[in-house]
Amino acid sequence: MTYRKQITITAAAHRRSGLSLLELLAALTILGVLAAALVPRLSVSTSETKSGSCAINRRVIEIQTALWHRDHGSWPSASLADIGGDRGYFPDGVPICPIDQSDYQIDTSSGQVIGHRH
């Protein structure tokens, strides 16, 4: 009798060592609902972050071109090639647009960035 009781306990413990199919489906359903709620928020946040970064880049370029104008008496070239080569103005190089990876251009009569109104 002791032997039979021991086998029953061992078999019951063995059967309960994993997840049942119902528990697994419930966990996957919860994860699916969470993913469906979070993914749109993350994608919106990413686009807002890139747009904000582009606005900051535009403003930094406009400030640095104004400093160039003060120091040199003229605006830098439209492509920013001359100011981009001077590490005093852009130590890490002229930034590029984080949204479309394009270069910034300026209006050589005002020093304002052309386009990039994302």
pLDDT tens figures, 56-100: 999 999 999 999 999 999 999 999 999 999 999 999 999 999 999
User: How many structural domains comprise the chain?
Assistant: 1
Residue 100 counted as domain residue: yes
Q: What are the E-state strand segments in 34-83? A: none
By the 10 Å C-beta count (0-12 exposed, 13-18 middle, 19+ buried), 53 is classed as middle
Range of the domain at 108: 20-114
Q: How does the average pLDDT of the chain come out, rounded?
A: 87
Helix (H, G, I), strand (E, B) or coil at 40: helix
Residue 40 counted as domain residue: yes
Residue 98 counted as domain residue: yes
